[in-house]
Amino acid sequence: MGLINVENFAAGQWIAPGDNARRIQSAITGEDLALAGASLDAGAMIDYAVTKGGPGLRAMGFHDRAKMLKALALYLNERKQQLYDLSYQTGATLGDHGFDIDGGIGTLFVYASKGRREMPDSDIYVDGEPEMLGKTGAFGGVHVCTPLKGVAVHVNAFNFPVWGMLEKLAPTFLAGMPAIVKPATATCYVTELCVRMMLESGLLPEGALQLVTGDPGDLLDRLGSQDVLAFTGSAATANLLKSRENILRESVRFSAEQDSLNASILGPDVTPESPEFDIFVKEVTREMSVKAGQKCTAIRRIIAPEGLVEPVIEAVKARLAKLVIGDPRREDVRMGALVSASQKRDVEEKAALIAQEAELVTPEGLTIAGDEVQNGAFLAPKLFHCADPDGAEHVHATEAFGPVSTIMGYRDMSHAVALANRGHGSLVASVITHDGDVAREAVMEAGAWHGRIYINDRASAKEATGHGAPMPHFVHGGPGRAGGGEELGGVRGVMHYMQRTAVQGSPDMLQAVTGRYVPGATTKEAPAHPFTRRFGELEIGETLETAAREITPEDIAHFAEFTGDTFYAHTDEEAAAANPFFPGKVAHGYLLLSFAAGLFVQPDPGPVLANTGLDNLRFMKPVQAGDSIRVTLTVKRKTRRTDEYGEVRWHVRLTNQDGEVAAEYELMTMNAY
């Protein structure tokens, strides 16, 4: 088998490696595997993204882009075996593929779902409700988010050639922004295969995705104020990138997710007989062996009660002793190789620094399972014990990016948290405890230093996702050494690629901009009862004004008896009058909602398929017997759900005989097309 020519995709063309291409070795055999790198026209790439990719993505709304993400996920999922087969050469086992390849595809699925459920069927994102700034409500404002008009450049690390790319692409594409992906060259051949699949799918607009597998040339020097630079890797490289003159001058959005000295704390409530002890040991050994410890979220510092340090050491050593290390293509192998010989040397150098302050407590010898892999970048797991964590420096500042971790003892929870915080910022800290007070203390004292705090115990162990598994629903990033960035986090991640703008104007103008009803805007009378009109026929601002209904004492008494809601405010005049919120006996709030539905409902079969709920219910003014209510029902927002029906949000306002607002809420219905 010849060398793999890892190509670049730039300005719509696949470009083969050039004369200055770098040779890439297999992690498991050490033999030359691939060539990558070519001279590229960075200006043409940016122009291609801005003039082709950006307009193509922005021509789609959030829901169409979400559908595109789902289709991409399905397409890749059908072809992931090809990615598995190639990814073995990075040293990754089949289990590791679950984190990288399946995890990346899963992230696409999550963002596809969130885009459909949590974002509008529109090309503009409204952030919060409008706020009126005057007495009459004639002028106000609202925050909206629109896609940046530049290109997102993603510089990714070597350890996750698929997930590292897809976890950035998912929110970028959903925002409506094109991307240029720059994977680490050591594993770029896996990324290239994934990019090739996505482009061959035909699902992406032209110019939405480009790939640089080697030196990016002057690409980063060309970025401006409408561009985004997102980086994953070391703090040293991040500092070089964010200090570039144009990045500072143009205020280019920069996000860094950096390697950090993550910690795991075993709670003081735990004994060797507790289920939490086994949970802790399993978490530690998993984080040392998955991806051969090459994870930005791996546990680097193991913090246990002083009296449990030795039992933890013995338990971890016992589990590591059973670990089969070798050719990741073998079914019995549970830990593969580091990504390269140079990475192995780097880990050994960093481990030597740690060894100045800690004792290695695991064997140094290594048996490698498999044929023809003896020259691979395999390394035995190294567990160190630091007897003086307060006096140590290297163990809190040096990260050996491999199967290396250091255990240390603590006196009490205050001491444990102080040790965890000495990493000066991490992506994740975990606390294994069955004591809620311990968990709260850890969050309160360590939260400022960690992007995620993972708490596990016997109640959650079966469903817990793991210390080292960032989930797309929650932010992935951390302060200080971890880079200060926040990736993922559901829709929060999409906002990194959009500009938040305060738009001010009259209710009519705000409604025109946002595409949703703003109270105070001009309404229009429906040509027929709105419940008789199909989804596509309804217009924003279309309004129904109902007749009035008087509330009688018999209504209130019957509702109390019928429902069992005999709260004194509805049944006892004297007690109700003593309540500062009520003028006397009042109608039930839910009685008012029931009567409101009776006032605006159209009972005949029609396009309204279901009432799916209500949001933002507020009771503003009590209603007593003798008062009357009427309802104003207005189409606030429409969202496609399928080709057969869509969701309609109605603004519902109940007013009394004096025109005062008694209640307000949003009603949701599913309406047929």
Length of the chain, in residues: 673
In a domain, 507, yes or no: no
Angle formed at CA 492 by CA 489 and CA 494, multiple of 5 degrees: 110
Please report, for the domain that includes residue 182, its CATH number: 3.40.605.10
Last residue of a domain, one of 228, 258, 288: 258
Amino acid residing at 386: C
Residue 77's region, left for phi above 0, alpha for psi from -120 to 50, else beta, is alpha
310 and 188, same structural domain?
no
579 and 549 Cβ atoms separated by less than 8 Å: no
> What gap in Å lies between CA 9 and CA 213, rounded to an integer?
9
Q: Which of 358, 352, 280 is nearest to 319 (CA)?
A: 280
Question: pLDDT digit string (tens) for 398-436?
Answer: 999 999 999 999 999 999 999 999 999 999 999 999 999
In a domain, 52, yes or no: yes
3-state secondary structure 281-310: HHHHHHHHHHHHHCCCCCCCEEEEEHHHHH
16 and 22 Cβ atoms separated by less than 8 Å: no
In a domain, 170, yes or no: yes
Confidence at residue 135, expressed as pLDDT on a 0 to 100 scale: 86
Residue 439's region, left for phi above 0, alpha for psi from -120 to 50, else beta, is alpha
330 and 191, same structural domain?
no
552 and 666, same structural domain?
yes
27 and 96 Cβ atoms separated by less than 8 Å: no
The structural domain count of the chain equals: 3
Confidence at residue 455, expressed as pLDDT on a 0 to 100 scale: 96
232 and 273, same structural domain?
no
> What gap in Å lies between CA 5 and CA 14, rounded to an integer?
11
Q: Which domain holds residue 592?
A: 523-672
Q: What does DSSP assign to residue 47?
A: H
In a domain, 190, yes or no: yes
The answer to whether 194 is a known catalytic residue is no
Which of these is catalytic: 167, 257, 357, 487?
257
**Residue pointed to by tokens 């793991």:** 466
Which of these is catalytic: 145, 188, 296, 386?
296
Cα radius of gyration (the chain) = 30
276 and 252, same structural domain?
no
Confidence at residue 289, expressed as pLDDT on a 0 to 100 scale: 94
316 and 248, same structural domain?
no
420 and 568, same structural domain?
no
Q: Which of 233, 272, 301 is nearest to 467 (CA)?
A: 301
173 and 24, same structural domain?
yes
Supply 69's token pair: 């993400």
The answer to whether 257 is a known catalytic residue is yes
537 and 556, same structural domain?
yes
Transcribe 404-441 into DSSP letters.
Answer: EEEEEEESSHHHHHHHHHTTSSBS-EEEE-S-HHHHHH
Last residue of a domain, one of 466, 498, 515: 466
Confidence at residue 20, expressed as pLDDT on a 0 to 100 scale: 85
Confidence at residue 207, expressed as pLDDT on a 0 to 100 scale: 96
How does 136-154 read in b/e, with b if 16+ C-beta sit within 10 Å? Answer: eeeebebebbebbbbbbbb
List % helix, strand, coil for the chain (3-state, nearest 5).
35, 25, 40
- What angle separates helix 188-200 from helix 163-175, to the nearest 10 degrees? 40
232 and 293, same structural domain?
no
Beta strands 152-155; 22-25: pairing state = unpaired
Give pairs for 574-579: CB < 8 Å, separation 24+.
none
Residues of the chain scoring pLDDT < 50? none
In a domain, 497, yes or no: no
